[in-house]
Amino acid sequence: MSYRTVRFRFAGSFRFGRNSLDNGDFCFAADTFFSALYVEAMKLGRQDELYDLVQGGGLLFSDAFPWQGDTLFLPKPLSAGAAERQALGSSVLKKKLKKLKFIRADDFDSYLAGTFDPLRSGDPAGSLVRQFLKVNAAVRGNDETMPYRVRLCEFSSHPGGAPATGVASDPQGASRKTAQAGAVSTPCAEPGDSAASGAAAGQVLTETGAGLFIIVKCAESRAAELLDELLKSLSFSGLGGKRSSGCGRFSFETGTVPSPLLRRLESTGGRVMSLSISLPGDDELEGALEGGSYTVVRRSGFIASENFAPQQMKKRDLYMLRSGSCFDRTFRGSIWNVACRGGSHPVFRYGKPLFMGIES
């Protein structure tokens, strides 16, 4: 069993949705990644091979987290540890820890040991990522032009170049045609974030040494070879939403996992943290959650397959456990069929955890 990292460098804007077009996140979850890989595997006729590898535990992957230069970021554990207990006497430290979503991988040992200093660790969302709203106009099927907003993200360091202009197409072009309304690009951020401080409206951003990465666990060489083939295909298709507008295109590179992190990935005999969105199987649910610290999230969305049904249909909602959730023991998880009735084929959602040990 081997581990490696896959780093994604996005060529421009990208979007990972969250309930509505004007809402979203700059990271993607493992179930989103698996769905994208499965679509690419179907094009190559290798979907059964991918399913069998993942369901059997021969190929597992984490959610995506930020990287910058040589620095990898990991999710802050949802279980209160020594760092939180150390900060009880300081309201400043408590507020800083509460806002912190990611921790540098190099700082993880000190965080678990209670020697971590949150004042010198910033949230990468505030320094690496610009989130902004692009105003489009829906013209097909409407008597009057109907403007709507789409939240997009870019990894950036400083603005440069000319304002963006042109036509933005919609992934569902058969039902709605869009045109960019005045090339408006409005910086914005989530409440409490400083992600909007990067660039002026409508400016193209220069490429930076930053992006997203995942950790991959491969049981055998054929799993790694299949993943590489699917990633090459996916890099042209793109990840996330608004791909027909050019969003989500990326290049990728594989690398080794840093030694301190690798030791934790291989030491899962005690308390553990999941690095991916997951859900225990029915036969292991009760035992897995006992003593755990976790957040439940609802996963939904539309079925992307054109062959599933004549009209677009939604996936069945599934309530899962967010990455960063901590448990007293490991569990296998599963891949879940979330297809609604009346479809022509199953629709799968990834729910297999990738664990790392969090014993200090």
**What is residue 47's predicted lDDT score, i.e. its pLDDT?**
94
What's CA 129's distance to the chain center, in Å? 14
pLDDT the model gives residue 307 = 72
What is the residue extent of each domain of the chain?
A: 2-125+209-357, 129-205
The answer to whether the CB of 133 falls within 8 A of the CB of 123 is no
The phi and psi torsions of 48 (rounded to 5 degrees) equal -65, -40
pTM: 0.80
- Provide the CB-side half-sphere exposure for 352 (13 A, CA): 19
**Residue 227 structure tokens:** 């993943």
Distance CA 103, CA 196 (A): 21
Q: How many CB atoms lie within 10 A of CB 81?
A: 20
| CA–CA gap between residue 258 and residue 154 (Å, rounded) | 26
DSSP label of 245? G
Q: Which residues of the chain have pLDDT under 50?
A: 157-207
Strand partners, 150: 134
Q: What pLDDT sits at residue 198? A: 31
Taking each helix axis as running N to C, give the angle between helix 221-237 and helix 30-44, from 0 to 180 degrees, rounded to the nearest 10. 90
- Residue 20: what pLDDT? 61
Instruction: Give pLDDT, residue 100.
Output: 85
Q: How many CB atoms lie within 10 A of CB 105?
A: 18
Amino acid identity of 31?
Answer: D
What residues pair up with 203 in beta bridges, in sequence order? 163
d(CA 328, CA 14): 36
Q: Provide the token pair at 86.
A: 């150390």
Could you tell me how far CA 313 lies from the centroid of its own chain? 23
Continuous H helices in 161-319: 221-237, 259-265, 285-289
Amino acid identity of residue 108, one-letter, is: F
